[in-house]
Structure 1
Amino acid sequence: MEVSTTLWVLTIAGLIALISVDFFIGRKPHDVSIKEAGIWTIVWIVLAAIFGLGLAVFGDGQASGEFFAGYITEKSLSVDNLFVFVLIMAKFAVPTQYQQRVLLVGVLVALVLRAIFIAAGAAIISSFSWVFYIFGAFLIYTAWKLIQEARADEDEEEWEENKLLKTIERRFGVADRYHGTKLWIEQNGKRVMTPMLVVMLAIGSTDILFALDSIPAIFGLTQDPYIVFTANAFALMGLRQLYFLIGGLLKKLVHLSYGLSVILGFIGVKLVLHALHESGVHVPEITIPVSLGVICGVLVITTITSLIASKKQAEAEQRKTDAGSKDKDSIEA
């Protein structure tokens, strides 16, 4: 898809306007209601759908299909990332009224990082076609790693600070409590960071790891930098509201990691086949309609099986609780 400089400028200006609206919505600290989160989640999804349909009308069906495949994949990976955000928020005991500010900054950092990664990835791909082998192998490895993590016992899961964050904390010091949305304060005659800044840095540094998975994944669906960038941008927009909307549902999506591992593994195989094709080897290539069908199908199946498994687990725990109550009553009698 040929993209002019004017279209790039207009797209970036439009995204900046959307980010400004998002910032305006969340500028005042408050507890986000389910209704507010639901309305704005729908708004962001509708905007993404309009953009994708616009690509079909003013561009071509191929570009539109690649956008939707990339958008759905990136959105799914973003939902999985919300698990980590929940752990980080719990680790730093972020007050609910400040969580949206933290998430907003996290989204901004993620957009900047992914723009850099996308530019670098596009430059590498245009010069070295063999990089598809590396991307493919990395995604297959990531898929296997996701399965291993999903099979592990996550009951005691807790987010651990990385070495860089610990070094920054030691260097500048951290206040003993939150001071609204302030990032720096004077404490005992010394300028120190507030926990608000620390948690923002934690979210931002974690975004780097997220980009390492998501960027190769979407390059496996399209090599068009414009589609890669816009799909990532629209997937990240509304992530803050989605956090509050499905916060309670996240624990019920017990099979999501398995589904994402299948999707990443599938895209990894697609990349390897594409690399072989570019090398002159006659192998079948996976089309965008097939990719879109597999991605949507896997997500639907894993969501349904997750909800069924969660329901059965809740019923089993309830039966266990009821049995324990009966035993207690018998002993007292």
Structure 2
Amino acid sequence: MGVPGPVWAVTVAGIAALLLFDYFFHVRKAHTPALREAAVWSAGYVGVALLFGVGVWFFGGTVMGTEYFAGYVTEKALSVDNLFVFLIIIGSFHVPRPDQQKVLLFGITFSLLARTAFIFLGATLINAFAWVFYLFGLILLLTAGNLLKPEETEGRPGDNTVVRIVKRVFPASGTFDGDKLFTTVDGKRVMTPMLLVMVAIGGTDILFALDSIPAIFGLTQNVYLVFTATAFSLLGLRQLYFLIDGLLDRLVYLSYGLAAILAFIGVKLILHALHENNVPFINGGEPVHVIEISTGLSLAVIIGVLVITVLASLFSAKGKAQNVVAAARRHAAEYLDESGEADAAAQERTFRKMLAEEQQMRELPEKYRARIREQRQLMDLLRAAHDKHER
């Protein structure tokens, strides 16, 4: 079903207005959103996305409505997974907490622009070459396999190739200057780490799009639905980051759930490619009569896998251990941060939180305590915090 030009224009204008609202009313003044603020705005953006989906269902019919919600849920889950990488990049650059909002909003804006370009490129390829479905399916299967690989804990995802190239070409300062992108050092204009972290996030966003766009094209080939589901999944991601910051490390099985979803959609794409086949060396260039997976079944599988994954993560001992370790690491780093503007009382509260988390670690089963003791960086960080407190 085609979507009229005026509807496209109103939709794009509405999404642009939501982004501009964020820039002018939320991140203009650096601050750390309170839990209530993050919760209210996260719920508001999700509500807008759901209302839009209801409108699509009402005006476009059941098929379009189901395709939109399947795409939105999938893209939202993938965007939450992206938050893990954002968290690591922001941590590796030691971005001050009040300035993290602006970094995240830039990442969301860049991601929306990059994915929009990929959406129209993907639609053009699909219309011109039916074999692209095979390629998209293979990309998703490979991505699913990569998600199951053990993560590199000692890596530095913030120090990627793009950042290294930029550092070589342009001089950069070693410290932040508020939320400025450039500053003056010894009479020379240089970049600040704020610009470098934005470059790092922008570079990783391009990689995210390589699995995000094939995934949603596996659920619908309607470009309007692909664009809107992707856009609404990204809007509100900044607030969601601050809302579930403490839970991100708790979702230990999310990568397995996403791997299952991407593999499922990859198989769905390959089956569709076989059904529409015109590749000469497959069945003589004739369509292969195979079963096709409906969008309704896809939506049910996606929601079911996500619910099981989240519940398993929240109630698992591994999830609880990982969550308390991440919280202790974060509070120790905050306490040791000399560039922060926290007063003595705020620093003392942060230290007390770290002490409580250390006590929780001591109450974990021995196998988890043994793994924690093997994390030398964490142990050194905690000892440094205690040394500073004693001094």
TM-score relative to the length of structure 2: 0.79
Of 161-170 and 122-131, deviating more is: 161-170
Q: Which residue of 1 aligns with 2:56?
A: 55
User: Equivalents in 2 of 1:312, 1:263: separation in Å?
Assistant: 21
Partner amino acid, structure 1, of 2:245? G
SS at match of 1:248: helix
Residue by residue over 1:291-322, the C-alpha shift from the partner in whole angstroms, topping out at 9 and shown as x without a partner, is 0000000000011111121467548851458x
Residue 26 of structure 1: CA displacement?
Answer: 2.0
Of 216-225 and 16-25, deviating more is: 16-25
Partner amino acid, structure 2, of 1:240? R
User: Equivalents in 1 of 2:230, 2:56: separation in Å?
Assistant: 15
Residue 2 of structure 1: CA displacement?
Answer: 1.2
Partner amino acid, structure 1, of 2:273? A
Residue 13 of structure 1: CA displacement?
Answer: 0.6
User: Equivalents in 2 of 1:74, 1:292: separation in Å?
Assistant: 12
Q: Which residue of 2 aligns with 1:191?
A: 189
2:8 maps to 1:8: yes
Residue 159 of structure 1: CA displacement?
Answer: 2.0
Q: Which residue of 2 aligns with 1:216?
A: 214
Change in Cα spacing, 1:319 to 1:273, as seen in structure 2 (3 Å) is closer
SS at match of 2:363: helix
Q: Which residue of 2 aligns with 1:33?
A: 34
SS at match of 1:266: helix
SS at match of 2:215: helix
Structure with more relative contact order (C-alpha pairs < 8 Å, separation 6 or more): 1
Q: Which residue of 1 aligns with 2:314?
A: 307
User: Equivalents in 1 of 2:266, 2:114: separation in Å?
Assistant: 22
Q: Which residue of 1 aligns with 2:20?
A: 20
Residue by residue over 1:132-161, the C-alpha shift from the partner in whole angstroms, topping out at 9 and shown as x without a partner, is 00100110111011111xxx2655454242
Residue 59 of structure 1: CA displacement?
Answer: 1.2
Q: Which residue of 2 aligns with 1:331?
A: none
2:316 maps to 1:318: no
User: Equivalents in 2 of 1:125, 1:215: separation in Å?
Assistant: 12
Q: Would the aligned equivalents of 2:162 and 2:199 in 1 still touch at CA under 8 Å?
A: no
Residue 172 of structure 1: CA displacement?
Answer: 1.0
Q: Which residue of 2 aligns with 1:231?
A: 229
SS at match of 2:184: strand
Match of 2:301 among 279, 294, 316: 294
User: Equivalents in 2 of 1:217, 1:319: separation in Å?
Assistant: 39
Tell me how many residue pairs correspond in the alignment. 319
Residue by residue over 1:262-302, the C-alpha shift from the partner in whole angstroms, topping out at 9 and shown as x without a partner, is 00000000000000011211111100110000000000001
User: Equivalents in 2 of 1:196, 1:91: separation in Å?
Assistant: 12
Partner amino acid, structure 1, of 2:251? L
Q: Which residue of 2 aligns with 1:121?
A: 122
SS at match of 1:38: helix
Note the 1:23-102 alignment, pairs <5 A. 23=23, 24-102=25-103
Partner amino acid, structure 1, of 2:21? V
Q: Which residue of 1 aligns with 2:144?
A: 143
TM-score relative to the length of structure 1: 0.92
Of 156-165 and 256-265, deviating more is: 156-165
- Percent same amino acid at aligned positions? 52
Q: Which residue of 2 aligns with 1:164?
A: 162
Partner amino acid, structure 1, of 2:136? F
Q: Would the aligned equivalents of 2:90 and 2:158 in 1 still touch at CA under 8 Å?
A: no
User: Equivalents in 2 of 1:142, 1:222: separation in Å?
Assistant: 19
Q: Would the aligned equivalents of 1:135 and 1:268 in 2 still touch at CA under 8 Å?
A: yes
Residue by residue over 1:96-146, the C-alpha shift from the partner in whole angstroms, topping out at 9 and shown as x without a partner, is 000000001111101110110001000000000110001001101110111
Residue 165 of structure 1: CA displacement?
Answer: 1.3
Change in Cα spacing, 1:170 to 1:267, as seen in structure 2 (3 Å) is same
SS at match of 2:175: coil
Change in Cα spacing, 1:305 to 1:40, as seen in structure 2 (3 Å) is same
Change in Cα spacing, 1:146 to 1:6, as seen in structure 2 (3 Å) is same
Partner amino acid, structure 1, of 2:293? I
User: Equivalents in 1 of 2:247, 2:109: separation in Å?
Assistant: 25
Change in Cα spacing, 1:134 to 1:317, as seen in structure 2 (3 Å) is farther
Residue 176 of structure 1: CA displacement?
Answer: 2.1
2:289 maps to 1:282: yes
Q: Would the aligned equivalents of 2:123 and 2:223 in 1 still touch at CA under 8 Å?
A: yes
Residue 169 of structure 1: CA displacement?
Answer: 1.1
Q: Would the aligned equivalents of 1:254 and 1:310 in 2 still touch at CA under 8 Å?
A: no
Change in Cα spacing, 1:312 to 1:19, as seen in structure 2 (3 Å) is closer
Partner amino acid, structure 1, of 2:164? K
Q: Would the aligned equivalents of 2:93 and 2:158 in 1 still touch at CA under 8 Å?
A: no
User: Equivalents in 2 of 1:316, 1:154: separation in Å?
Assistant: 23
SS at match of 1:252: coil
Residue by residue over 1:45-99, the C-alpha shift from the partner in whole angstroms, topping out at 9 and shown as x without a partner, is 0000000000011111111111110000000001111110110111000000000
Q: Which residue of 2 aligns with 1:264?
A: 262
